Amino acid sequence: MTENEQFMPSADQPTAPFAVTALASPRSRFWASVIDVLILVIPLVLLTAGPWAPFPNGLMQTVVQLAIQITYGGALLMCFGRTLGMRALNIRVISITADSELTAGQSWLRTAAFSLPSLLPTVGVFWGLIDCGWLLWDKPNRQTLHDKIARTIVVTTHSGLD
């Protein structure tokens, strides 16, 4: 059974293609991000560090890093509604609109809103801290700024579906 087939609506769950239990905790979101960063480090180091690297420094290195990060996040969210780190912690991104699934546009917008500000020196660092910290005081949906921009929320799912 493919992952997409696992999340098809069942007779007792006509409105959601997966079983949502609650909003994801800040802790689970943090650890999912750590897992994703560890997954991304290997290709980033191979492409941008050392004498063998095709993109050893400068603007091209930054562009390659952002392209890998945006492709990883955007493609996985678009296809599966979650990254590998999110899958490991049984969380996923859904549209804040209860009657609609996460769209491709929301997937790419959410990833771009998180990643692209890092291009701006100093401002990008502050954006990242404020963006991710926002969920600590956001009520009632516990959204980051990139969630608000893309109109998404992050929820936990039943572990039996994974």
Q: What is the pLDDT along the chain (162 residues), one digit of tens a residue?
A: 444 444 343 444 334 455 566 899 999 999 999 999 999 988 888 777 767 777 666 777 788 888 999 999 999 999 999 999 999 999 999 999 866 789 999 999 999 999 988 888 788 889 989 998 999 999 889 999 999 999 999 999 865 444
Separation CA 110–CA 96 (nearest Å): 12
At residue 5, the pLDDT reads 46
| Contact present, 142 and 23 (Cβ < 8 Å) | yes
Length of the chain: 162
SS3 at position 97: coil
Residue 23, strand partner residues:
155
What is the predicted pLDDT for the residue at 42?
A: 86
| Four-point Cα dihedral 91, 24, 38, 109, nearest 10 | 80
- 19 close to 159: Cβ distance less than 8 angstroms: no
CA–CA separation, 51 and 115 (whole Å): 27
Helical ranges in the chain per DSSP H: 3-6, 26-48, 58-80, 84-88, 104-115, 123-133, 145-150
- pLDDT at residue 11 in the model: 44
Q: How far apart are CA 79 and CA 160, in angstroms?
A: 20
| Domain spans, the chain | 17-161
CB-based contact 71:118 (threshold 8 Å): no
Are the CB atoms for 53 and 46 separated by under 8 Å?
Answer: yes
Place of tokens 């990008």: 124
